[in-house]
Amino acid sequence: MSNNPTKNPLWQDLRAQAKDIKKSSIQSLFDKNENRFDDMHIELNDFLFDYSKQHINSDIIDNLCTVLESNGFKEKQSAMFNGEAINHTEGRSALHTALRRPSDAIVMVDGQNVIPEIHETLQRIKELSDKVKNKTLVGVTGKPIDTIISIGIGGSDLGPRMVYKALSNNPENIIAQCHFVSNVDGDDIKNILNICNPETTLVVIISKTFTTQETLTNAQIAKDWLNNNLAEHGNAIEKHFIAVSSNSDEVKKFGIAEDNFFPMWEWVTGRYSLWSAVGITLALSLGFETFEELLAGAHSCDEHFKSAPLNKNIPVLMALTGVWNRNFLESSNLAVLPYSQRLEHFPAYLQQLEMESNGKDVDSDGNQITDYKTGTTLFGDVGTNGQHSFYQLIHQGSDIMPCDFIAAVKPDNKLDQSHEILLHHMLAQGQALMQGKQDNADDEPYRYFHGNRPSTTILMRELGAHSLGMLIALYEHKTFTQGIFWNINSFDQYGVELGKELSKKIANNDLDNADPSTKGLLSYIHKTLK
């Protein structure tokens, strides 16, 4: 049977159900079922997941689950956890879940259990982190390292950057300040180097291939900065650089010592690599115990994802409500709205996770997808800032944009009144999106709110390393599940390669196949720079 979901007999049933449910509002679904919230929320550990404000019902969920199962969801889920090469276009496993498994687990890749090597690397990270904490890791001048500069891009940057912002709220828990550089625009690294002391700075280069142009350009600038400032004291690279990569040869060419090299395995895709040695910057800056808690939180989500029935499985329900909105209610966007300043970078992190994973128009069988849509355009910002900018479009715009609201119930900033106001704002937004405002429409039509705009709410008891790890893993598994439903490979990213190839050709003045616009723009740049 074809894994094209539109070939499933239930696809037409779902289209009929969409046509029918559009005749009623989300509010009317509550009116018909006074237990709707009880029926459509799940409490797991310190999480509450509420999808009762989605424009959906249990019969639709059941049909979506059946389509998902018929596409081999359970088999593919097991294959992912067991280390099979589910990234079939690149012939690789996708084993980010193994990175948070306990030391006694067994996960075989090419006949070898990968768990011992994972935990050996974790032990090395712990030892280095302890040295920073104990101030025994010193630079060439003998001063203790107290600052980390993390240089990477994409998955090598977004994950650690997001987590550091979320968990560095308490100065007492920071063992080293951490700065992140990703953009090849020189202003990015220059601004960081200007505030760092080379004598006490450790530079971490994160690049799977160790050939990424942006990362290596910034790494060379940092290398020159250290050499220029510390040359009289000896080999600065030996004590001030470490690397995370799968390419040990290129790391060695750069001059980084073998003891300062941490592996990044081929079976870890960049946007899922936070849990690997890519997270070393978090262990060095926030302590290894914090990184361990992050891993443990993600692992607890893995266990729920593997064991919970589909209609009680939070990542699965996140995925299927997203599919419902995308393919049947024809909503092409998703707004992720964390009501926490500490989660400022979370929407950007999810943009890569979801849009790079599922932004595909060719299915897993190599066929062009023409009869259904994949992927969503994800955007967002923290509440309440977003309320005073783009929420206008969400409330009264022509398109319906589903929303994910995320918040921690308990603050750790001891500003209880501010936090209470914050939570009230979030609840009000979800209510306003669903109910709208229809009174006085004839007299003041510009004050009319249609309502009937769907949202999901995720509440954490508090925002810590464990709960953050779990939150991230929820969205990882949501993304994987949608990939199965849409019959696409969520683990390759060929769409990012073409621009890189053309950039190299432009740099080499190889313009034979360039369009007139590109040639004209390049000519203007060259003239301006003369």
The count of other CB atoms within 10 Å of the CB of residue 290 is: 24
What is the per-residue DSSP string for 129-165?
Answer: HHHHHTT--B-TTSPBP-EEEEE--THHHHHHHHHHH
Q: What's phi and psi for 504, nearest 5 deg?
A: -65, -40
Please give the Cα distance from 309 to 321 (Å, whole number). 16
Please give the Cα distance from 31 to 313 (Å, whole number). 25
* Helix and strand element counts for the chain (H, E): 21, 13
Q: Which of 214, 183, 465, 475 is nearest to 353 (CA)?
A: 475
User: Hey, is 226 helix, strand or coil?
Assistant: helix
Q: Which of 237, 239, 242 is nearest to 255 (CA)?
A: 237
Nearby residues of 210 by Cβ (< 8 Å), 6 or more positions away: 216, 243, 245, 246, 247, 250, 251, 254
User: Of these residues, 172, 303, 388, 414, which one is catalytic?
Assistant: 388
Please give the Cα distance from 238 to 37 (Å, whole number). 58
Please give the Cα distance from 423 to 384 (Å, whole number). 10
Annotated active-site residue 190? The verdict is no
Please give the Cα distance from 436 to 513 (Å, whole number). 53
Q: Which of 414, 274, 281 is nearest to 346 (CA)?
A: 274
Please give the Cα distance from 78 to 75 (Å, whole number). 5
User: Hey, is 482 helix, strand or coil?
Assistant: helix
User: Hey, is 201 helix, strand or coil?
Assistant: strand
Annotated active-site residue 388? The verdict is yes
Burial category of 366 from C-beta neighbours within 10 Å (exposed 0-12, middle 13-18, buried 19 and up): exposed
Could you write out the three-class secondary structure of 240-297?
HEEEEECCHHHHHHHCCCHHHEEECCCCCCHHHHHHCHHHHHHHHHHCHHHHHHHHHH
Expressed in percent and rounded to 5, the helix, strand and coil fractions of the chain are: 55, 15, 30
Tokens of 351: 């943009």
User: Hey, is 181 helix, strand or coil?
Assistant: strand
Please give the Cα distance from 465 to 289 (Å, whole number). 9
The count of other CB atoms within 10 Å of the CB of residue 209 is: 13
User: Of these residues, 96, 356, 395, 476, which one is catalytic?
Assistant: 356
The count of other CB atoms within 10 Å of the CB of residue 188 is: 17
Annotated active-site residue 360? The verdict is no
User: Of these residues, 32, 500, 505, 519, which one is catalytic?
Assistant: 500
Is 282 within 8 Å of 242 (Cβ atoms)? no
**What residues are annotated to the active site?**
356, 388, 500
